[in-house]
Chain A
Amino acid sequence: MVVLKDETASIRSSDDIVRVRRIVREWAVSLGFSLVDQTKVVTAASELARNVIDYGGGGDFRIEALNNDARRGLRLTFSDQGPGIVDLEQAMKDGFTTGGGLGLGLGGAKRLVNEFLIDSKPGRGTTVVIVRWKNL
């Protein structure tokens, strides 16, 4: 697998969430993702970027364009040095309502992408890596 190109950005405020969305959208378009796939990966990125701010106290974002044997994809990494997640299993469960805002949206974001990896320990921060492949 080859990384064709990559870019990083820091996520400090809600303006950065908009910026992350824009970057992911541009890259998804240039890789030739279908409209629905674009929307899914941008939305997932929005959810995870928001988590970095809401729960991580700010953090970093990296985007990479991948080429795996003629299959193109996008890999996004969201990392923060926040308090970390105590109960990962619980966190992955859907818990939001339209009014409440409960739940981290992790379960939802996971359903929007092809690969989802999370590494989080209390006191060690959180890193989430997602991959969305372009449907050939």
Chain B
Amino acid sequence: MERIPILKMGRFLLVTIQVDMHDRLAMTLQEDLTDRIVKDHAHGVLLDISSLEIVDSFIGRMIGHIAGVSRVLDAETVVVGMRPAVAITLVELGMTLDGVSTALNVDTGMAMLSASLEEREKLNGGSQR
């Protein structure tokens, strides 16, 4: 069955959503991601939605859910590549995605995750495994 690929990039995971997701696919993604964060000891998740033309409240909630679960597992989530039309529509819909960090693209998102990880490690006095 089709799954959205999850790539390991150093200490982070990169998920690129390129299809118009139906519900089952979204559920599977959430489960797969949760498993992988634990399995790969990931400290961050980059969710690339630059190919998404539509983000409705369901996808919005999925994003929020992923961010929440990751945080509990000590991984930070950054959503990158949101298209202007999508952003404008989400604002109109009333979805603020509070608690979800965003960046313009994978590079800035990656930089954000690295910086944030450094901060956390400094606070915890040393490298995290």
Contacts and interface: CB of A to CB of B under 8 A. Distances in A.
Nearest to A95: B94
Interface residues of A, number: 30
Q: Is the interface of A mostly helix, strand, loop or mixed?
A: helix
B60 A21 contact: no
B89 A43 contact: yes
A98 interface: yes
Contacts of A15: 22
A107 B118 CA distance: 41
Interface in A77-125: 94, 96-101, 105, 107-109, 111-112
User: Size band of the B side of the interface?
Assistant: 20 to 34
B81 interface: no
A42 B54 contact: yes
Interface of A: 14-15, 17-18, 21-22, 25, 35-36, 38-40, 42-43, 46-47, 50, 94, 96-101, 105, 107-109, 111-112
Contact of A98 (B20, B54, B92, B97): B97
Nearest to A101: B61
Contact of B85 (A39, A50, A98, A101): A39
A63 to B, nearest CB: 16
Given A21-B54, A39-B89, A108-B94, 9 more contacts: A18-B22, A43-B56, A43-B93, A46-B58, A97-B64, A99-B65, A105-B56, A105-B57, A105-B93
Q: Which 9 A-B pairs have the closest CB atoms?
A: A98-B64, A14-B23, A108-B93, A39-B85, A46-B56, A36-B85, A94-B94, A105-B57, A108-B94
Given A46-B54, A105-B93, A108-B92, A98 B60 contact: yes
A36 B93 CA distance: 13
Contacts of B20: 18, 21-22
